[in-house]
Structure 1
Amino acid sequence: MQEMEPAVRSRVKRGFLWRVSLIAGLGGLLYGFDMGIIAAALIYVRSTFALSTQMEEAVVSVVLVGAMLGAISGGMIADRIGRRATLVCGGAIFVLGSVLAPWSPNVGALIFARGLLGIAIGFTSVTAPVYVSELAPPQSRGMLIGLYQFALTLGIALADLTGYWLAGQHAWRLMFGIGAVPAVFFLLMVMTVPESPRWLYAQNRIDEAEAVLKTYTDQAGALLLLEDIRVSLLTTMERRWSVLWSPAVRGSLLTAVGFTVLQQVTGINTIIYYGPRIFSLAGIASDKSAIFATFLVAIMNVLATVIALVLVDRVGRKPLLYVGVGGMTISLFVLSYAFHNEANLASSLGLVATACLMVYITCFAFSMGPIAWILASEVFPLRVRGRGIAAASLGSGISNFIVSLTFLSLINAAGNAMTFAIYGVFCILTLVFVRFVVPETKGRELESISSKPAAVAP
């Protein structure tokens, strides 16, 4: 497919694209809130239900089991009933899980409710980036897709702020219940957005696709974009999972799944889920102070994601990855060294840990955080994009599940210093992967990226 002509670019109504992207991004906010709220709530859930270490890990990681199920089914559902309808389904499940969690009479009921929230996360994490990528022009696609990651980081920060606000009352039920408010808002708002014109055209609903295009460009622009979609859909939409392993798609699969797995095994979600516990290990005794330190880290996550949104379509994906992952590597090894010399640092360890984790999450937020999902939504051909995004989300979910399920046990078995050193080694492997596998996709049309996924620039 040819690059979008400058005349068409100028006729695109940016306000419409921003509105749609922000509404889709609300799914990311719910993702972040429901993932992040467990960091504070777990302190009080643990005492309410007298949880063992293994049950704590189960309460945290069950969301990821649901997310994997949602990712697997969400890709298929998005290809069958449409991107918008799948987002509506995700919104409804978010509401249900957010209502059930605070009313849990026992840990089993809480695990069930958080599993539902995970399914909703899987639906939206698969569908929202694809939906936005199929509406956005290439020169701003990275920033608009990145809004999903920004909303996710904002959701985490709001969760930590909620936890800090309610920590004095030990009100973990209210912490979970507040999530119902954005869930209802997301469900109502997503009903107001149109279906993806690319998906409509693929279903032979050409008049509807043209009508959607006319909502954000004029008649001439709509016809040009419609022709681009027609050319890109000359091949049939694939519904077989096996096609992802075909020679034409295998490189895209390696890039997307490999990178989303590395995104998780570098340890990012240990901070999101267990932040207060990490700060407690570093000598911050007060629960409320540990939650506040986690909130400060989350704020850096939000601010750095804004940097990514501004730079990702200007300087490119790979330069941000080199700088960001390099900073993550250094901060993790410094943190490991600090824990190794815990006796010498004494009361300073808490400050060192806070500084290291703030640097770590800042570097993650302007690099791996948004770029993992930008790449996943860009590298696959349209005919397998739903399946491809689902595979990337599944890989992310499995690796996230393993990390979250083993973090406390790894701390107990290997110690604090060795645990963070292991995550640092995975950061080094990520730099190698970026250099030799990840392509630069800045400013390229979706179909030109997927036709040459192995074109790797330094």
Structure 2
Amino acid sequence: MALDTEAGVASIFDATKFKIIVIGVLAALAGLMSGLDIGVVAGALEFFARQFDASTVAQEWVVSSMMAGAAIGALAAGWMAHVLGRKRSLIAGASIFVIGSLGCALCWSIPSMIVFRVVMGLAVGISAFTAPLYLSEIASENTRGAMVSTYQLMVTVGIFLAFLSNTYFSYSGNWRWMFGVAAIPAALFLTGVLFLPYSPRWLIIQGRHKEAREVLLSLREDPLEAAKEIRAIREQLEVKQHGFALLKSNPNFRRSLALGIMLQAMQQLAGINIIMYYAPNILSRAGFDATSQMWCTAIIGLVNMLATFIAVGLVDKWGRKPILYIGFTVMALGMAALAMLLATDMSSQTSQFIAVFLLLIFCTGFAMSAGPLMWVLCSEIQPMQGRNLGISVSTLTNWLTNMLVGASFLTLMNTFGTSGTFWLFAILNASFIVLTFLFVPETKGMSLEVIEKRLLDGVKLRKLGR
């Protein structure tokens, strides 16, 4: 009888774990969709530009318009997540993904493409804010880090799959299918989101305590754990958000806000998205033919995805700053070596393979460091009362800087040459090593409460942690 009882309890635990995994995967599909939308333009741009005779500036607008939409979506997402709820916001994002993908596939002019790229960006911005928030509120304390990291991992998976899809359709030059095929996983994502439970935290905010308890009981193996979590949520919600008041009255909060802005600007100015958006163009200037450009781009996407596991595995062992030092050093050296190589004759296969290798080195440096770690740091350095504002501002900075890079890269290459442009990014990455030393704290093993206390006590930014 006892064995039967134990077996029954074990089966309940297994069912609960399976349910959490399914919910986590469904919500993290928002990251996959974001990755697909980020990656698709790299392969489609050349074919689209050829059909509509798009100028360099027009191509930059096609690329960067998505980031403009993402900035707007990120701003709107905070209000949507609070008023409509996390689940309904994800449904809205999934619906917009479908509309944007089909719109880009069916567009009839350069302006129409830009409009639908903005629509796709809205979905990316909403999802980038809402999905990690939802995952963190659904997951237990012991699985929260892994669940939230799944979103960032799925972004890299989406970019890789977009590069593979681009390669397949590049043989026919069918850029419409490159965009349109993303509507299929978007529709599946929309269908799956409909079956997700509401966030228990949002339900408590709405005063729907009974529903919140039912959701948590279905997601936790121990009813006592669920009850403890509900009490913790209620206590935390007593800390009201006063971000704008804190911004005006507290110079220490202004310091953390400025640090968050700097971290996200560093992430984007490192240059990763010139690779994600313009890899075929760069490879073309390195002497690759059209087919080789697409396959090499797919390999770059694969390395970007796999290298993300390095950060996930080492961030809590080595710490944030050592990994950032390594990452920015690798990126600076990779960009400098590529700049020197591109200044030479690129007609030999040896030079071309070295160019791809250097791009892979750069992507590895980014994916293991600045890619995921800037998001981790931005979530750790903001005090509780100003956390919503702080994270919203840093996220907006990310998309605006992303847009700046996407809207200027081709012009930079036409003005300074390919080699000169890569020297610029090499110098930027070298300067980020200095900025990391001067301003970035080491927060490994530090509680958020201790970091906040040290910040508000006026401790120097670089000494907030250990």
TM-score, normalization by structure 1 = 0.90
Establish whether residue 310 from structure 1 lines up as the match of residue 313 from structure 2: yes
Q: Residue 400 in 1 paired to residue 402 in 2?
A: yes
Q: Does residue 1:260 correspond to 2:264, yes or no? A: yes
Q: Does the 8 Å CA contact 1:198/1:209 hold for their aligned counterparts?
A: yes
Among residues 60, 67, 70, which one is paired with 1:67 in the alignment? 70
1:330 correspondence with 2:338: no
Deviation readout 1:79-121 (Å, 9 max, x if unpaired): 3322222111111111111111111111221111111000111
Map of 1:374 onto structure 2? 376
Instruction: Specify the alignment match of 2:204 in structure 1.
Output: 201
Q: Residue in 2 aligned with 1:5?
A: none
Residue type of the alignment partner of 1:327: V
Q: 2:421 aligns with which of 414, 419, 422?
A: 419
Residues 139 and 443, structure 1, Cα contact 8 Å, conserved in 2: no
Shift of residue 261, structure 1, vs aligned partner: 1.4
Report the Cα distance in structure 1 between the residues aligned to 2:440 and 2:20, rounded to whole angstroms.
27
* Displacement of 1:322: 2.4
2:361 is matched with which residue?
A: 359
Q: Please, which moves more after superposition, 248-257 or 326-335? A: 248-257
Does the CA contact (< 8 Å) of 2:167 and 2:295 recur in 1?
yes
What CA distance in whole angstroms lies between the structure 2 residues aligned with 1:396 and 1:207? 38
Is the Cα–Cα contact under 8 Å of residues 338 and 345 in structure 1 kept in the other structure? no
Match of 2:278 among 271, 274, 280: 274
Q: Give the stretch that moved more between structures: 213-222 or 171-180.
A: 213-222
Contact 2:331 2:366 in 1 (8 A): yes
Q: Tell me the alpha carbon deviations over residues 288-313 of structure 1, each in whole angstroms, 9 at most, x when there is no partner.
A: 21111111111101111123233334
Give the corresponding residue for 2:392.
390
Query: Relative contact order (C-alpha < 8 Å, sep 6+): which is higher?
Result: 1
Q: Which runs of 5+ in 1 are unaligned?
A: 1-10
- Give distance in 1, aligned partners of 2:388 and 2:36: 25
Q: Tell whether the 8 Å contact from 1:324 to 1:366 is kept in structure 2 after alignment.
A: yes
1:77 is displaced (CA, Å) by: 1.8
Deviations 1:176-199 (A, max 9, x none): 000101111111222222333333
CA distance in 1, matches of 2:194, 2:447: 28
CA distance in 2, matches of 1:436, 1:14: 43
Q: Which amino acid aligns with 2:369?
A: S
Given that residues 132 and 148 in structure 2 are in contact (C-alpha distance below 8 angstroms), is that contact kept between their aligned partners in structure 1?
yes
Mean Cα deviation higher: 53-62 or 247-256: 247-256
CA deviations 1:212-247 (Å, max 9, x no partner) are 322222221112222222332222244x65645652
Cα deviation 1:384-432 (Å, max 9, x = unaligned): 4443332222101111111111101001111222211221222223323
Aligned Cα RMSD in Å?
2.5
Secondary structure of the structure 2 residue equivalent to 1:235: coil
Which residue identity lines up with residue 268 of structure 2 in the other structure?
Q
The C-alpha deviation readout for 1:152-204, integer Å capped at 9, x for no partner, is: 11111111111110111110001100010111111122222233333333343
Aligned equivalent of 1:226, options 221, 227, 230: 230
**Pair 100,391 (structure 1): closer, same or farther in 2 beyond 3 Å:** same
Letter paired with 2:108: P
Closer/same/farther in 2, CA of residues 386 and 139 from structure 1, 3 Å limit: same
Contact residue 443 and residue 465 of structure 2 kept, 8 A = no
Residues 142 and 309 in structure 1, CA contact (< 8 A), matched pair in contact too: no
Residue 258 (structure 2) pairs with residue 250 (structure 1):
no
Residue in 1 that maps onto 2:89? 86
Q: Indicate if the aligned counterparts of 1:63 and 1:116 stay in contact, CA closer than 8 A.
A: yes
Q: Percent identity of the aligned residues?
A: 35
Query: Which residue does the alignment assign to 1:31?
Result: 34
Aligned pair in 2 of structure 1 residues 347, 219: CA closer, same or farther (>3 Å)?
closer
Given candidates 141, 146, 150, the residue that maps to 1:147 is: 150
Q: CA contact under 8 A between 2:451 and 2:465: conserved in structure 1?
A: no
Task: Tell me, yes or no, if the aligned pair for 1:332 and 1:421 is still in contact at 8 Å.
Answer: yes
Q: 1:397 to 1:203 in 2, by over 3 A?
A: same
Deviation, structure 1 residue 252? 3.6
1:48–1:451 CA distance, 2 compared to 1 (3 A): farther
Question: Secondary structure at the residue paired with 1:210?
Answer: helix
Name the aligned partner's letter for residue 285 of structure 2.
L
After TM superposition, give the deviation of residue 279 of structure 1 in Å. 0.6
Q: Is the 8 A contact 2:346 2:352 kept in 1?
A: no
Distance in 1 of aligned mates of 2:184 and 2:442: 39
What is the letter of the counterpart of residue 276 of structure 2?
Answer: I
Kindly name which structure, 1 or 2, has the bigger radius of gyration based on alpha carbons.
Answer: 2
- Assess, with a 3 A threshold, how the Cα gap between structure 1 residues 181 and 382 changes in structure 2: closer, same or farther: farther
Partners of 2:201 and 2:212 within 8 A in 1: yes
Consecutive unaligned residues in structure 2, runs of 5 or more: 1-12, 456-460
Alignment size in residue pairs: 445
Distance 2:287 2:191 in 1: 44
SS in 2 for 1:169: coil
User: For residues 236 and 54 of structure 2, what CA distance do their matches in structure 1 show?
Assistant: 53
Q: Check 1:36–1:147 CA distance in 2 against 1; reply closer, same or farther (3 A cut).
A: same
Q: Residues 214 and 314 from structure 1, CA distance in 2 versus in 1: closer, same or farther, beyond 3 angstroms?
A: farther
Cα deviation for residue 46 of structure 1 reads 0.8
Deviating beyond 6 angstroms after TM superposition, the runs of 4 or more aligned structure 1 residues are none
Aligned position for 1:211: 214
Q: Per-residue CA shift, 1:244-275, capped at 9, x if unaligned? A: 56526334423332211111011110000000
Which residue is 1:456 aligned to?
Answer: 464
